[in-house]
């Protein structure tokens, strides 16, 4: 009996020492993950309370974010058990024909066996799963940033429609102000063609206003999808984008992307996990051990032996024989190839992010140039030309067609200015996604 107690204590000690310790850093990440995700938002919102509200709602309800969160939770919950010993094996034997021994007939036997993997295997299993959980966490952050970026860009599309509608209504009011002038000219005996032309132009403006109003429908539908709202849910808000600030240099932005982009972080954790998988595959070449205790119940009173009826206890030790080395070598090579695949994918992702940064900065610079052109040159000069032509038309020195052309040009210029402004906001949102909401701004303008 003492041998049984000793063996049980020995097994318990081995299990306690071989079970990997909990990854405390990962647990801290789990505790902080919700706060860290919510903390991403204010960095992007730039004090825009309406956009802040929308993003918080997306964070709580967006299906793709919730799916990524659940996947991370699933991977995290596997960490604490990834390095556990296999379950022990217990068997019970009943002898229908008792085995006669010198100490009496044997009636039943109980066998307890614990498998012990090769040294270091449990630690590697725990480390592998821990890194998989970290990769899933990075995937969650990546998904959150993508949803936030798309939500921001939708918000700026709302801003464009809002401003384009305002501009169209103001131009309609301007055209209506021409009507009394055209009617007075008719009273002087001239043709009514100017009034007819004015009414045609008003029809064009009203059609543009109706078109802009219809364009809200697909935007609201996509907004409902991102916020996981029921189809047709009313969405009403006034978009007020924040003031544009100067950017950091391209070198600084690229450094922020390398250091913080969650897609690159995910690849890094997956690469580390794949390295552990290679080490695990190498350990397949070595045997696993097993240790067990067998207890046999023996009936007494049938012999005169001093040990009559004594129950024997046996300690058993065994190991697997890894005969199929060719198979294990193939598995090891497979793990190596998988890691090479991830390494190349990471390089490809870096090149993709570099290209995305270059493209985004080009589009941003082009949009900023266009915005400055319309704001500082074309719109002021055209407004001045419109005033001069209107006065000239009143004096009968310019045709109504010239006035309408300049007015239509003013409308187009103002629309193009707002399109350029909206593109600027969208490219800033893209940069925030690439840099994982790191501060992308230099000194404020």
d(CA 300, CA 247): 91
Neighbour tally for 198: CB within 10 Å: 21
Residue 8 has pLDDT above 80, yes or no: no
- 230: left (phi > 0), else alpha (psi -120 to 50), else beta? beta
Mind spelling out the 3-state secondary structure of 344-359? HHHHHHHHHHHHHHHH
Q: What is the mean pLDDT of residues 125-141?
A: 96
Q: What is the mean pLDDT of residues 19-36?
A: 49
Domains and CATH numbers, the chain: 2-286+306-434 (1.20.1600.10)
Dihedral of the CA atoms 405, 410, 412, 417 (nearest 10)? 160
Model confidence at 213, pLDDT cuts 50, 70, 90, reads very high
Model confidence at 364, pLDDT cuts 50, 70, 90, reads very high
Is residue 68 within 8 A of residue 147, CB to CB? The reply is no
> Which residues does 386 contact at the CB level (< 8 Å), separation at least 6?
403, 406, 407, 410
Task: Report the helix count and the strand count for the chain, using DSSP H and E.
Answer: 13, 4
Residue 25 pLDDT? 53
Residue 304 pLDDT? 64
> Which residues does 253 contact at the CB level (< 8 Å), separation at least 6?
247, 357, 361, 431, 434, 435, 440
Residue 331 pLDDT? 95
* CA distance from start to end of the chain: 84
Residue 89 pLDDT? 94
> Which residues does 432 contact at the CB level (< 8 Å), separation at least 6?
43, 44, 145, 148, 149, 152, 440
pLDDT one-digit tens code per residue, 397-443: 878 788 888 988 999 999 999 999 999 999 999 999 999 876 777 65
Q: What is the mean pLDDT of residues 169-180?
A: 87
Residue 323 pLDDT? 92
Residue 316 has pLDDT above 80, yes or no: yes
Instruction: Mark out the alpha helices in 62-192 (DSSP H runs).
Output: 63-77, 79-82, 121-187
Of 305-314, 355-364, 370-379, 414-423, minimum mean pLDDT range: 305-314
Residue 346 has pLDDT above 80, yes or no: yes
């Amino acid at each position: 009996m003492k041998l049984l107690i000793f063996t049980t204590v020995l097994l318990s000690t081995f299990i306690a020492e071989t079970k990997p310790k909990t990854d405390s850093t990962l647990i801290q990440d789990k505790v902080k993950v919700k706060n860290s995700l919510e903390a991403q938002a204010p960095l992007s919102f730039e004090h825009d309370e309406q956009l802040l509200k929308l993003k918080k709602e997306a964070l709580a309800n967006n299906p793709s974010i919730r799916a990524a969160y659940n996947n991370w939770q699933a991977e995290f919950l596997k960490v604490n058990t990834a390095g556990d010993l296999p379950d022990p094996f217990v068997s019970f034997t009943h002898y229908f024909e008792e085995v006669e021994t010198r100490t009496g007939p044997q009636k039943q036997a109980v066998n307890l066996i614990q498998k012990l993997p090769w040294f270091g295997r449990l630690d590697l299993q725990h480390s592998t799963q821990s890194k998989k959980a970290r990769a899933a966490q990075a995937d969650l952050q990546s998904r959150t940033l993508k949803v936030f970026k798309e939500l921001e860009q939708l918000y700026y599309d709302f801003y464009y429609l809002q401003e384009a509608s305002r501009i169209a209504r103001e131009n309609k009011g301007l055209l209506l102000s021409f009507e009394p002038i055209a009617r007075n000219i008719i009273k002087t005996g001239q043709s009514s063609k100017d009034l007819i032309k004015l009414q045609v132009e008003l029809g064009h403006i009203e059609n543009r206003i109706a078109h802009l109003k219809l364009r809200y429908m697909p935007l609201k539908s996509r907004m409902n999808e991102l916020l996981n709202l029921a189809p047709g849910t009313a969405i009403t808000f006034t978009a007020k984008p924040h003031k544009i600030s100067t950017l950091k240099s391209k070198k600084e932005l690229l450094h922020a992307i390398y250091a913080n982009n969650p897609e690159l972080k995910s690849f890094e954790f997956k690469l580390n996990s794949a390295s552990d998988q290679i080490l695990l595959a190498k350990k397949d070449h070595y045997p696993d051990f097993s240790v067990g205790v067998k207890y046999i119940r023996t009936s007494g009173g049938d012999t005169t032996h001093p040990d009559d009826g004594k129950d024997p206890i046996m300690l058993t030790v065994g190991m697997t024989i890894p005969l199929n080395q060719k198979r294990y070598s193939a598995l090891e090579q497979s793990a190596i190839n998988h890691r090479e695949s991830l390494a190349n994918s990471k390089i490809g992702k870096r090149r993709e992010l570099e290209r995305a940064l270059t493209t985004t900065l080009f589009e941003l610079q082009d949009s900023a140039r266009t915005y400055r052109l319309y704001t500082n040159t074309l719109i002021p000069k055209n407004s001045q030309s419109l005033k001069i032509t209107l006065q000239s038309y009143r004096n009968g020195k310019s045709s109504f067609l010239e006035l309408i052309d300049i007015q239509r040009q003013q409308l187009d210029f103002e629309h193009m200015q707002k399109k350029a402004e909206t593109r600027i906001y969208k490219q800033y949102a893209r940069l925030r996604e690439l840099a994982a909401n790191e501060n992308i701004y230099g000194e404020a303008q």
